[in-house]
Amino acid sequence: MSMVTAIVLNWNGREDTLVCLRSLAAQVEPVAVVLVDNGSTDGSVEAVRREFREVTVLETGRNLGYAGGNNVGLRHALAGGSRYLFVLNNDTWLAPDCVSRLRSELAAFPDFVAAAPKSLQGASPDRIHFAGGRIARSGISYHVGLGEPDGPAHDVAGETEWITGCALFASREGFERVGLFDERYFLLFEDLDWCMRARRLGWRLRYVPGARLWHAGSQSFGGKRAATYQYYSTRNGLLWIERSFPPWRRPLLSAGWLREAWSRAGRLGATPETLRSLRSATRRGVRDYLARRFGPGPTFAGDEAAPTPRVAARSGPR
């Protein structure tokens, strides 16, 4: 039995997924792989089964979102006895020693429950996508080094405040004690929520720059899906603030988050029609938060079907 199980979530991302699985097959340390398919219609499952007979494929039959889909894979891996679990976006590819370095680091630092590799941009391989995560006093989270050239400043291992769900490597004990992803989010902020829950239990999170991967990034929330992103970001940001901060801080942080959401709509609203759609999505996000309507959200006019669970964006990015 492999010590490490990678959980890769797919939704109509056949070509990306095949590249990711090839990089997992090339790891110097054996990795068991569980592919969770969220109801794809692009032949992903058939392609994976043809090329990777050793990969366990779990079909959900519908889009359960990032949280629900990954939880299916995590439950399977935990039941199978894996000591380490690696939640990995399907639009990533790994250096051959990525997994072995992450596992060695967690084994050497038992007070750390999870670790993040250095994530580089697929389109600009010498630039940073994620070199640790920070949370500002305003409650807005961000990637350390995002867009900066890779270099010595990003090569120092150490503690990080949160880990992007693009590549979250955790011990079995971590998921057993912290729990799985909160499925109320469906999409966006599940990674931040999990990391904050871990830290409240006294666990630490580690950035491991010697472990490297590349992230293609996603256009999932650009263009036709901008309103979908705006909705989940608005609604889930408010939920995350509620769950992560003491009551006396929540009103100010929530007000700040709503200002940020409204401002983002203005920045992205290149046409009057787009701006109206984004503002409508923002208002719907607020209403659904107040009405406690979580999980899968609405479909917006002009948006495509429910988005693939991969995104590189501000505030709860992957």
Give pLDDT, residue 309.
36
Contact 221, 187 (CB under 8 A): no
pLDDT tens for 154-184 read 999 999 999 999 999 999 999 999 999 999 9
Q: What pTM was estimated for this model as a whole?
A: 0.91
Give pLDDT, residue 303.
64
- Whether residue 232 is predicted with pLDDT greater than 70 in this model: the reply is yes
- Mean pLDDT for 204-224 is 79
- Tokens coding 198: 């871990």
pLDDT band at 138; cut points 50, 70, 90: confident
Give pLDDT, residue 274.
87
pLDDT tens for 248-262 read 999 999 999 999 999
pLDDT band at 304; cut points 50, 70, 90: low
Q: Which of 67-76, 168-177, 194-203, 292-301 has the lowest mean pLDDT?
A: 292-301
- Mean pLDDT for 43-61 is 97
SS3 45: helix
Average pLDDT for the chain = 91
If residue 29 lies in a helix (H) or strand (E), which one and from where to where?
Answer: none
Strands (E) located in 132-229: 133-135, 141-143, 158-159, 167-171, 204-215
Higher pLDDT, 304 or 27: 27
Domains of the chain from N-terminus onward = 4-215 (3.90.550.60)
Give pLDDT, residue 300.
83
pLDDT band at 218; cut points 50, 70, 90: low
pLDDT tens for 80-131 read 999 999 999 999 999 999 999 999 999 999 999 999 999 999 999 999 999 9
**End-to-end alpha-carbon separation of the chain, Å?**
29
Report which of 210, 180, 211, 172 is spatially closest to residue 1, judged by C-alpha positions: 172
| % the chain with pLDDT above 70 | 92
pLDDT band at 302; cut points 50, 70, 90: low
List of residues 6+ apart from 116 with CB closer than 8 A: 130, 132, 133, 160, 163, 164, 167, 168, 169, 205, 206, 207, 208
Higher pLDDT, 6 or 219: 6
